[in-house]
Amino acid sequence: MKQFSKLHHQIFAITTTLALITIVIISVCIASLLYTQGIDKAESVLRNKNRSVTTLIDGYVAPFRKAVEYVSGSASGIDHNHFREQETQDKILTLFEVLQNTVPNIHYIFSGYEDGSLLINDYTPPEDFNSVIRPWYQAAIKSHPLISDGIPYQDINSKKWLISFGKTLVDPDDKVVGVISIDAGMDAIVEALAIRDEQYPTIYNFVMDNEGKILIHPDATLPDKLHREIFSHLPKELNASGKLSYSDGEQNKLAHFERIDELGWIVVTEVNLDDIRQPLIKTIASTVLMIVIGSLFTTWLMSFILSRHIILPLKKLQNRVQEITEGKDELDKYVLPKNEIGKISEAIEQLTEKALIQKNIELKDTNALLSAISHTDQLTSIANRRKMMEVLHAEVSRFQRKHRPFSVLMFDIDHFKRVNDTFGHEVGDQVLIELAQVVKATVRNTDTVGRWGGEEFVIVCPNTDQTMALIIAEKVFAAIHSHSFPMQVDVTVSLGLSEFTAKHSLESILVEVDQKMYRAKQAGRNQIKS
């Protein structure tokens, strides 16, 4: 009896030990996964908010810049070279009034000339006023022949934030004769920057210039000051956007930035890292606690069941063998002789062997089907982002081992939102499906085409250098252009491509090809950037 008591304790000790080891492994994996997912989610929130604000700013200032271009160009029908003539001045002031009544949010529109004079409606400048020495005039001269960077300032009377754009006026000999300037309200931009996030209360946006000087900030005391901490952490390369982390001496920060080159602005969205970590730690702790309680309860229950259904019959068998050895006449009391257990085990093994083999085959087929589903985009039936990341990891590993070149192509459907808005999401989905099949049929069998997300696609080309990748890209372009999409939708794409080299990492090649695709869009879309 003592032997089986020891066996009972051993089973309990072994199952408990295995449970604790399993708990530790699972807890570490889940904690790591939850933490990584939490950080990724926070970065995604930062990135989306940053892009939302950047897009709003781009769309908001576009009419003002177009107005400046129009007034300063020949299309306006005004020859600013004759600014001293009363007839020309009347035309200019009339045009200013029309634009101010037509384009929303214009506060002031005026022009200054080389003789120091100023043309503006409803305002009489002081006698000693000199346009040439004003900041807006000098900024336009500095940016000649382009429009000056957006210069935010706070109106001295209304205390509202305004933004100033200026452009030089030239005579037929390209000599500067003056500057046209528009000051516009920034209420919508300031409101967008001030929007808070319920999940991350410390998240906020601000704008600085390319030299690190803060232009707009929720803290009214900070504009016109240099943000040394974040500026020192910006990458030296002129990346259009990216993420970074830094410390301001009191808090660790996680941030995302995006450059607006036309304005000379950098839009930054940041959050305190503790704001992300604290809820993550609580979630991880509660999850791990549930795992520990559930695992220990299950382990102790299994130990009890094993003891009851295995150790107890063995104890009875031991007692019966001992009784027979001792010559006790109680043969009808127990029917579990030792050899019968072996026979039963052998019979069960023979009966279940075929069933187990069949179940293993079915399980293998099921696992293969689940693997295919988890690596396939449900809409387009091509590889999804998870599969593309596996392919990219494999190609990077092959490059590091065998130095075999490969290239990555990333393209985005131009103005895809218009397709959904005009024809509906069902037509948009059909366009995505047909485009995926067209591209898949165009590339080589060794290439992998995948949906990266939304209307973005990625092609991984093994054993392919930059030159060959460009040929593949041109074939993809030709195939898309020649295909007849539903509702006669005119589908074009903007494509970026890069060859992986020794200086690249997986993250940097994806950033680089994404930037090239973005430049293709900036350059007018429907083109390739290599």
Active site residues per annotation: 455
Which structure tokens are listed for 366?
């099921």
What pairing do the DSSP bridges indicate for beta strands 493-499 and 528-529?
A: parallel
Q: Which two tokens stand for residue 365?
A: 């087929």
- Asked if 480 and 491 count as a contact pair (C-beta separation under 8 A), the reply is yes
Instruction: Give the Cα-Cα-Cα angle 155, 156, 160 (nearest 5 degrees).
Output: 35
Nearest to 471 by CA among 509, 526, 528: 528
Q: Which phi and psi (to 5°) does residue 87 adopt?
A: -60, -45
Dihedral angle computed from the Cα positions of residues 171, 143, 494 and 241, in that order, rounded to the nearest 10 degrees: -170
Tell me how far CA of residue 462 lies from CA of 273, 375, 394, 474, 528, in angstroms.
39, 19, 10, 17, 20
Phi, psi torsion values for 353, nearest 5 degrees: -60, -50
From 270, 275, 160, 253, select the one nearest 208 (Cα to Cα). Answer: 270
Q: What's the rounded Cα separation, in Å, for the pair 141 and 112?
A: 12
Distance CA 155, CA 275 (A): 35
DSSP codes joined into one string, 88-105 = HHHHHHHHHHHHHHHSTT
Omega before residue 145 within 30° of 0, cis? yes
Cα pseudo-dihedral 108, 112, 118, 122, rounded to 10 = -10
Look up residue 163 and give its two tokens.
């933004």
CA distance linking residue 501 with residue 406, whole number of Å: 9
- Asked if 241 contacts 185 with a C-beta cutoff of 8 angstroms, the reply is no
Cα–Cα distance, 4 to 133 (Å, whole number): 101
Which DSSP string corresponds to 326-369?
A: TT---TTT----HHHHHHHHHHHHHHHHHHHHHHHHHHHHHHHH
3-state secondary structure of 174: coil
> Residue 318, exposed/middle/buried by CB under 10 A (0-12, 13-18, 19+)?
middle
Which token pair is 434? 């047909």
How far is 89 from 128, CA to CA, in rounded Å?
Answer: 20
Do residues 4 and 311 lie in contact, with contact meaning Cβ atoms separated by under 8 Å? yes
